[in-house]
Structure 1
Amino acid sequence: MSDKYTTIQKDFYRENGKWLSKFEIWAKCVNPNLHFIYILRKAQTYKKKSVLGAFWRFVLRHHQIKYGFQIYPETQIGEGFYLGHWGSLVINPKTKIGINCNIAQGVTIGQQNRGKNTGIPTIGNEVWIGANAVIVGGVVIGNNVLIAPNSYVNFDIPSNSVVVGNPGKIYPREDATEGYINNKI
């Protein structure tokens, strides 16, 4: 992957596998998911205490409320980020998310304040998180992991796995996200 593309272009590439110009990106912002990602990336680009940083954080806050996404500029999110559907999404600002990750609606990625897994999740590359899944605590999610809808995860997940259920059960799969994560960067 060439470094000539911006993070925003890499995120938008995930939607349909086409590299877009700045004008084409703006045209795609009619999609609430892509619009939010655009604003989030702009807020992440500028320092918090700069004029542009304050502006983009203000715009982001408005769109967090409008679309129901609680994702903050402090969240470390790799390139190729994809939101499958809009509405009701909560991600702790200290969460780390790798490249080519998909997150569906209703997902909560949060902090656990007590017990053996106190902390915040770290999510690897090429992770697909289904609708209404919950990931909490200082857990590490490996690469090429599919977390099925409505799963509850408060434990580490090795790479090349599928997790299903509440409590979640791990099934090893080399092709865990094949067909789920498209247009990888």
Structure 2
Amino acid sequence: MFGANIGEGVIARPGLRVRFPWKLEVGDRSWLGEDVWLHNQDRLVIGSDVVISQGSFITTGTHAFRTDMALRTRPIHIHDGVWITSRAVILGGLTIGQNALVLPNTVVRRDVPANAIFGAQDGAVVGQRFPDSSDETQDR
């Protein structure tokens, strides 16, 4: 366990990756699905009866990409009863409230309230890849 604090009855499926086990706490009866990546460069607390479904990525770290690329870390707290569905991405510094559900393919950038169903809206254009391009259909 390399220093991780793991509760009773936790199920860790094949392909689970944990960056720093000594910064990880998982409560009783939680489920960590196939190919889940816990990129925990800071403290990561996962409560009891939590499900983190396949392919999800939870990261406590990022870089100061507009300045010097310095590593910046912030802890994450996932409360009891949370279900993070497949391929969700959870970013550092967040709290996911008790019994919340995060929908598939959602990038979580802010706290999720208890009992909430949280997910991305339909896709939308948020900017241009090549702002100087005059032909919008170039890559279609």
Q: Does 1:155 align with 2:110?
A: yes
- For residue 83 of structure 2, give the secondary structure of its aligned residue in structure 1: strand
- Amino acid across the alignment from 2:85: G
Who is 1:146 aligned against? 101
C-alpha displacement of 1:92 = 2.9
- Amino acid across the alignment from 2:21: P
For these two proteins, the number of residue pairs brought into alignment is 106
Q: Is the 8 A contact 2:84 2:103 kept in 1?
A: yes
Who is 1:89 aligned against? 36
- Amino acid across the alignment from 2:120: G
Give the counterpart of 1:76 among 25, 36, 51: 25
Q: Which runs of 4+ in 1 moved over 6 A?
A: none
Larger Rg: 2
How high is the TM-score relative to the length of structure 2? 0.65
In proportion to residue count, which structure has more strand? Answer: 2
Distance in 1 of aligned mates of 2:45 and 2:87: 19
C-alpha displacement of 1:162 = 0.6
Gaps of 5+ in 1: 1-6, 13-31, 34-66, 168-185
How high is the TM-score relative to the length of structure 1? 0.50
In proportion to residue count, which structure has more helix? Answer: 1
Residue by residue over 1:52-89, the C-alpha shift from the partner in whole angstroms, topping out at 9 and shown as x without a partner, is xxxxxxxxxxxxxxx32113532111111113x42x21
Gaps of 5+ in 2: 1-6, 66-71, 123-140
Distance in 1 of aligned mates of 2:87 and 2:121: 11
Q: Is the 8 A contact 2:10 2:27 kept in 1?
A: no
Query: Given the superposition, is the C-alpha separation of residues 135 and 155 from structure 1 closer, same or farther in structure 2, using an over 3 Å criterion?
Result: same
Residue by residue over 1:88-112, the C-alpha shift from the partner in whole angstroms, topping out at 9 and shown as x without a partner, is 2111332111110001111001024
